[in-house]
A and B are shown apart, each in its own frame.
Chain A
Amino acid sequence: MIGRETPSAGAMQLIGSLLEQRTGQQIAANRAWRIETALKPLLREHGLASVDALVGRLIASRTGELADKVVDVLLNQETSFFRDGAVLEHLVQAAQAMQEEGPGRRLRIWSAGCSTGQEPLSLAMLLAERADAFAMPPEIVASDVSPAAIARARAGRYSQFEIQRGLPVRRMVQWFDATGAGEWVAKPDLVRRIQFRRHNLTADAPPPGRFDIILCRNVMLYFSPALRRQVFDELAGAIRPGGLLVLGAGETVIGLTERFIPSQAFRGMYVAIDAAAPLAAIA
């Protein structure tokens, strides 16, 4: 019988440490039940009787493949198309305003922690619908720490349940094809607008160049405050002064970094400050 044995404190600690080392995410004591629930399919797949047996296999394993799988199933990859859609609409308005300030320039947007790709695809749809407002289609870079999530995002393939969450039917018909097997796949014309890459916010250097807008929504919820500070510093280095950082609802930079300040023009977004410029000129 799988999963009947209660995991030992040591096994749970090792699994928690593995997740934190690889992704920065911490599992609070009141969310420990998530470890057991999330690992059950993996235990079944590998014929393991318990979380302790999995830990034994992890320790004995010479490759990181099993550890990658453990991290993948423990990551919270909850997402949907047009999640907090008003924020994305707002962001496109901000992008239009930036384009007006710099006509002829190609805007760059980074969706950091994009999970299985619904956020950058939603953004690409909105930007394509406002193509007239941009000199060139904005460059969209989308990244996630999970190789499996990025592979799915790159494939643009979604189940019937996933495709129906948040995606209006007219956009579904315009931008997706039915595979005939109950799945829907994003059309090449949509996927080619996005550069997908695996990237660990807590360990890897940001993608090269400076971005105009960075979305990092609901990614740092389970990071320690110290790690959040570190990531905000990395993001500040990856965004141009005056660029906008978009966090999830309920997330803030306040008390964690002085390199971003709340935008007065775009509520809920944060402006990257240029240390040399007076604050009033930026916000």
Chain B
Amino acid sequence: MKTCLVVDDSKVIRKVARHILETLEFDVREAADGREALDACLADAPDVILLDWNMPVMSGMDFLRALKEAGLPQRPKVVFCTTENGMAYIRAAIEAGADEYVMKPFDRETLESKLQIVGVA
């Protein structure tokens, strides 16, 4: 079973994502900000991270940079999942090393499709 870490400060979004991911047979973990997510990754890296952009404590972009610096032996795939839907944000995420990008709002098909593209579903 593949593991997915859902990183979002919204409980509702985490719940919706968890529900979809569990129907896709993922073992789901949650973090409410980038700092919590980094701790979780250093303790036990997931296969894929669903990552919000704007969060308190540590943003999604800061988390992505910190994850790169952490130099994990096997870096998890990172899929941004955000309301920042402009081209400039998407380009910045790709340049920072994001593997895929989900524009909110999303549905099951979108999420499944993006997870297939990064090779975890």
Q: How far is the CA of A164 from the CA of B102 in the complex (A)?
A: 7
Q: Tell me whether A31 is interfacial, beta carbon within 8 Å.
A: no
Partner of B87, one of A166, A178, A182: A178
Interchain pairs with CB closer than 8 A, number: 35
Q: How far is the CA of A177 from the CA of B90 in the complex (A)?
A: 12
Partner of A161, one of B91, B101, B107: B107
Known contacts: A160-B103, A164-B106, A168-B100. The answer to whether A173 contacts B86 by CB under 8 A is: no
Chain B contact residue count (CB 8 A cutoff): 18
Query: In chain A, residues 143-191, which have Cβ atoms closer than 8 Å to a Cβ of chain B?
Result: 160-161, 164-166, 168-170, 172-173, 177-178, 182
List of B residues within 8 angstroms of A17 by Cβ? none
On whether the beta carbons of B113 and A169 are closer than 8 Å, the reply is no
Nearest A residue to B88 by beta-carbon distance?
A: A178
Nearest B residue to A171 by beta-carbon distance?
A: B117
On whether the beta carbons of A80 and B113 are closer than 8 Å, the reply is yes
Q: How far is the CA of A166 from the CA of B103 in the complex (A)?
A: 14
List of B residues within 8 angstroms of A80 by Cβ? 113
Q: Tell me whether B10 is interfacial, beta carbon within 8 Å.
A: no
On whether the beta carbons of B94 and A170 are closer than 8 Å, the reply is yes
Question: Shortest CB–CB separation between residue A197 and chain B, in angstroms?
Answer: 29
On whether the beta carbons of B85 and A178 are closer than 8 Å, the reply is yes
Q: How far is the CA of A169 from the CA of B114 in the complex (A)?
A: 9
On whether the beta carbons of A166 and B113 are closer than 8 Å, the reply is yes
Partner of B117, one of A160, A168, A177: A168
Q: Tell me whether B44 is interfacial, beta carbon within 8 Å.
A: no
Q: How far is the CA of A178 from the CA of B103 in the complex (A)?
A: 12
Q: How far is the CA of A122 from the CA of B100 in the complex (A)?
A: 18
List of A residues within 8 angstroms of B101 by Cβ? 169
Question: Shortest CB–CB separation between residue B108 and chain A, in angstroms?
Answer: 11
On whether the beta carbons of A165 and B110 are closer than 8 Å, the reply is yes
Q: How far is the CA of A160 from the CA of B91 in the complex (A)?
A: 17
Partner of B110, one of A161, A172, A173, A182: A161
Partner of A160, one of B85, B100, B109, B113: B85
Q: How far is the CA of A165 from the CA of B103 in the complex (A)?
A: 11
Q: Given A160-B85, A178-B86, list of 14 further CB < 8 A pairs?
A: A160-B103, A164-B103, A164-B106, A164-B113, A164-B114, A166-B113, A166-B117, A169-B90, A169-B101, A170-B94, A173-B91, A173-B94, A178-B85, A182-B85
Chain A residues packing against B (C-beta within 8 Å): 80, 160-161, 164-166, 168-170, 172-173, 177-178, 182
Chain B residues packing against A (C-beta within 8 Å): 85-87, 90-91, 94, 98, 100-103, 106-107, 109-110, 113-114, 117
